[in-house]
Amino acid sequence: MATVTFDNATRQYPGNPVPSVDKLNIDIADGEFLVLVGPSGCGKSTSLRMLAGLEEVNGGRILIGDRDVTNLSPKDRDVAMVFQNYALYPHMSVADNMGFALKIAGVDKSEIRKRVEEAAKILDLTPYLDRKPKALSGGQRQRVAMGRAIVRSPQVFLMDEPLSNLDAKLRVQTRTQIASLQRRLGVTTVYVTHDQVEAMTMGDRVAVLKDGILQQCDSPRRMYDHPANVFVAGFIGSPAMNLMNVPVTDGGVDLHGHTVPISREDLGGVGKDVTLGVRPEDLELSSDQSGIPVTVDVVEELGADAYIYGSTEQKLLEATGENAGAVPFIARVDGRRPPEKGEKIYLKPKTGHVHVFNSESGLRVGD
Amino acid sequence: MTAGTSAAAPRQSLRADDDPQAALRTQPVKIAVGLVGMILTVWALGNLFLAFGFYPEKFGSKIVIGLLAIVAGVGGAAVIFYFLNMFVEGLPARLSEGLIPYAFILPGFALVALMLIYPTFQTINYSFANSDSTAYVGLQNYRTIFGDSEFWSSIVNNVLWLVIVPAVVVAFGVVVAVLSDKLSANGEKFAKSLIFLPMAISSVSAVSIWALVYAYNNPGQAQTGLLNAIWTSLGGDPQTWLQISTAKLNSILLMVILIWLQAGFAMVLLSSAIKGVPEDTLEAARIDGAGEFQIFWQVVIPQIKGTIITVFVTVFITVLKIFDIVYVSTNGQYGTNVIANLFFNKLFAASEAGQATAIVVVLLLAVTPLIWYQIKHFRDEEANR
C-alpha cells in the first residue's frame, strides 16, 4: 500500500510541439480509488503509462510512497496493470497467466498455486484455471486480467479502460465488482476511463484532463456540484449541462426577462457577460411565460422522468472535442406529464442551482 | 421422353416436386455430346501438340508456337471440363450430383498420379531388381548398400546436415528478425533486403560464389580466396578448405552455403511473426517484473512457436533433399557425400539402378514421418486460427 504523487510530471513526445501531459500534479492517498477521465487524446492513458513506467517522464517526478520512481523500469515499481485488451499471455493457462509475475519473482511453486487459487476464488475463476485465454468469454478474460493484478498484491493497481471491451450490461455489473473489490483490498488504484458515468460511480476522487492539462480533481459529488470551469461543467453529467452566455443585470443575470439572482460580490469584475450553466434537472416549467422559451424537438420518456431536447433562440455554447457541434437544450421534466413534441414551453432555473463562469476565462465565478 | 427439350431445361426443374421421376432420368443426348466432345478435344489437342513437335516450321516462329500452346492448353482444358461437366450432368441427377466433384478432381489427380505416385511405386519396385532393372534380386541391393561404408558415411553426413542447418537457420533468422525489429524503418528494410538477397540465387550459383571464398592458391602467391586471405594474414599457411575432412570441416563449410541461402526465408517469416506478437503482452510482462531476456524466452518465443516449427520443418525437408551444393562443389569426395549425391552417382555414373533406387527408398522412408508431421502441424495451426 502506498500513496502516489505526480509532481509536475510532464510527457512530451518527440516531434510534438505541445506536451501530451503537461505538469500534472495529483496526490493520491493510500488506498484511494482515483479515476482519470477525459475525452480521447487528453493524456489520461499517457499519465497512467508514465506511472507504470511504460512511458518516459520528460519533466517533473513521480513518487510511489516516498520512493522516486521517475527513472525506474516498470519491474522495479511494484505496480500491477489491467490493460484495455487484457494483454493475457495467449500461450499460458489462466493459472499461469495469473502466477507469471510471482514465477518471475522466484516465488515458491506451492505458494504461487495457493495465491492463484485464492484470487481465482474471489473472481469466480476456479473452474477455468487450466484453460487458455482463447477458451474464455470476454468477461472471464477481464477477470483473469484482474486476477493477474490481485495475485501480486502490488502497491498500486493501474487500470486502463478495463471495461471498454465488455457489453453494456456486463460493464455495469463489473464496474460495481471492481469498485467493491478495491474497497475490500484497500490497494491504491488509478483507473483510466473516457466514460464519465464510470468515473462518477467508481472513484473516490475524479481527475478530469483536457489536452494534457488537469482541469479539476475532486470527489464525484463536488465535481458535479462545483465544476471548476466550463469544460468540466459540460463534461461531467449526463445528459450534459446547458451552457449559455447571458448579460449581467442588476442583482443577477438576465434570462429572457427573467432575472436569475446572483450575489453582487460574485459578479464583481466579470464584465458585461457571464456563462451560465444549468443542469437539465435544475430546470422547471415556468407558468408565466418568463424564462427561456424552448420548442420541444424530442421527448425521451424514461418512466419516472422525461428528458426534453429542444431548440431555443438563446445561443448555447457549442460542445468541443468528440461531440463538437451545436447542442440541443436539455431539460428534465416530470415523466407523467411531459410536454408534447413541437410544443413551446418556458423554462427557468431553480433558485440556487445555477453555475456561473467567467465568459472570458471559462473559470467558475463564486462558490 | 424428348431428350432435346429436357436437355435444354434448367437443372432446377429436374428437382421439381411435381415430377419426382425426373431426377432419375438419364439424358442420353448430353452424355453422348459430352463424351464425343471430350474425345474430339483430346484428339485435336494431341494432334496440335504433336504438330508443334514434328512440324515446327509450319508455325513460323517459336513465339507463335509458345502463344498457341498457352491458348490451346488453357482453352483446351476449359473445353474438356465443359464437356466433362455436360457428360456428368447427363447422368441421372442423383448419380451426377455425387459424381461431379470427383469428375473435376480426376484430371488433376491423374496428372499427380502419373508424375508422382507411379514413379514412387516404380522406384520401390526397381529397388528389388538388378542393375539394369531386368530381373528381381530380392533384398540384395539393400544388403549391398548397407554394407557399403560410403553409404554409412553419407548417412552420417546427412544427419549432420539435418542437425546443424535447420537449427542454425532458425536461430539466425530469429536473431536477425529481433535485431532488425529494433532498427529504424529504413535500416530494417535495408538489413532485411541484404539478408534476403541470397534467396534469389540458385544453389549452383551460390556454390560458385562460395568457391571463390574457399579458393586456394599455392603458398607464396596472392590468396584470392577470402578465407585463405584472412587465414594467411593471421599467419597460417593456405589451406585447401574443402578437402579437410577433419572434424567434418569441409562438410560444415558446405553447410554454411545452404545456411546463407535459407536464412532470408527464415528471417522473413519469423520477422512477421515477431511483429504479430501483441505489444501489450510485452508491456504486461514488463510490469509483471520480467527482464528483456525473460520476455523474449517466455513471452515472445512461445507466441511465435508455430512459425518456428513451420520454418524448421520446411528447412529440414530442404536439407533432406540436399544434393546440388555437394554435387557442384566436391561431388561427394573428401568425405562430404550425402545420400542424394550418392544416389545420383550410383544411377548415372555407376549404372547401378538397383542400388540407386534402394538408396532413395531409404531416403523416402526417412522423409515420410516428417512430412506427415508437417501436414499435421499445418492442420493444427489452421484449426487454431
**Residue bearing cell 406529464:** A337
| Spatial distance between the Cα atoms of A351 and A286, rounded to a whole number of angstroms | 13
- CB contact under 8 Å between A100 and B278, yes or no, is no
| Spatial distance between the Cα atoms of B348 and B336, rounded to a whole number of angstroms | 19
Beta strands across the sheet bearing A354-358: A258-261, A252-255, A242-249, A273-278, A354-358
DSSP 8-state assignment for residue A88? -
Q: What is the pLDDT along chain A (367 residues), one digit of tens a residue?
A: 689 999 989 999 988 888 999 899 999 999 999 999 988 888 899 999 999 999 999 989 999 988 899 999 888 889 999 999 899 999 999 999 999 999 998 999 999 999 999 999 988 899 999 999 999 988 899 999 999 998 988 999 999 998 988 888 888 888 988 988 898 889 999 999 988 888 899 999 999 999 989 999 999 999 999 999 999 998 888 888 888 888 888 778 887 777 888 877 777 767 788 888 899 999 888 877 778 888 888 898 888 889 999 887 766 776 554 454 567 888 998 888 888 888 888 888 888 888 888 888 888 887 6
Q: Where are the domains of chain B?
A: 18-126, 141-383
Per the CB < 8 A criterion, the answer to whether A252 and A262 are in contact is yes
Residue of B nearest to A54 (CA): B283
Per the CB < 8 A criterion, the answer to whether A153 and A111 are in contact is no
Q: Which residues from B are below 8 Å from A91, CB to CB?
A: 302-303, 305
pLDDT above 90 (res B292): no
Name, in order, each residue with C-beta under 8 angstroms of B176's C-beta and a sequence gap of 6 or more.
B191, B192, B195, B263, B267, B271
Instruction: Kindly indicate the confidence band of residue B24, based on its pLDDT and cuts at 50, 70 and 90.
Output: low
CA dist B233 to A326, B146, B227, Å? 81, 45, 10
Rounded to the nearest angstrom, the minimum Cα separation between A227 and chain B is 35
pLDDT above 60 (res B178): yes
ipTM (interface predicted TM): 0.82
- What is the pLDDT, as a whole number, of residue A35? 93
Chain centroid to Cα A36, Å, comes to 6
Q: How does pLDDT run across B189-244, given as a tens digit for each residue?
A: 898 888 888 888 888 999 999 888 888 877 777 778 888 888 888 877 777 777 77
Helix ranges (DSSP H) in chain B: 3-8, 28-54, 62-90, 93-112, 118-126, 140-146, 149-181, 185-196, 203-213, 226-233, 249-275, 279-287, 292-295, 301-303, 305-320, 324-329, 339-344, 353-384
User: CB-based contact (8 Å) between B381 and chain A?
Assistant: no
pLDDT above 70 (res B16): no
- What is the pLDDT, as a whole number, of residue A88? 92
Lowest mean pLDDT among A53-57, A324-328, B64-68, B170-174: A324-328
- What is the pLDDT, as a whole number, of residue B9? 45
- What is the pLDDT, as a whole number, of residue B228? 81
- What is the pLDDT, as a whole number, of residue B133? 79
Residue of A nearest to B280 (CA): A87
**Residue bearing cell 511494484:** A78
For the purposes of burial, counting CB atoms within 10 Å of the CB of A265, is it exposed (0-12), middle (13-18) or buried (19 or more)?
Answer: exposed
Rounded to the nearest angstrom, the minimum Cα separation between B313 and chain A is 21
Considering only the beta carbons, identify the residue of B286, B299, B305 that sits closest to A89: B299
pLDDT above 50 (res B185): yes
| Spatial distance between the Cα atoms of A134 and A192, rounded to a whole number of angstroms | 26
- What is the pLDDT, as a whole number, of residue B4? 42
CA dist A46 to A160, B187, B203, B220, Å? 10, 28, 52, 67
The mean predicted confidence, pLDDT, of chain B is 84
Q: Which residues from B are below 8 Å from A80, CB to CB?
A: 287-288
2.30.40.10, 1.10.40.50, 1.20.1250.20, 1.10.3720.10: which CATH number matches B141-383? 1.10.3720.10
Q: Which of residues 133-152 of A touch B (CB under 8 A)?
A: 148, 152
Dig out the grid coordinates for B233 from the structure: 594474414
Residue of A nearest to B303 (CA): A91
- What is the pLDDT, as a whole number, of residue B164? 92
Q: Backbone phi, then psi, for A255, in 5-degree steps?
A: -125, 90
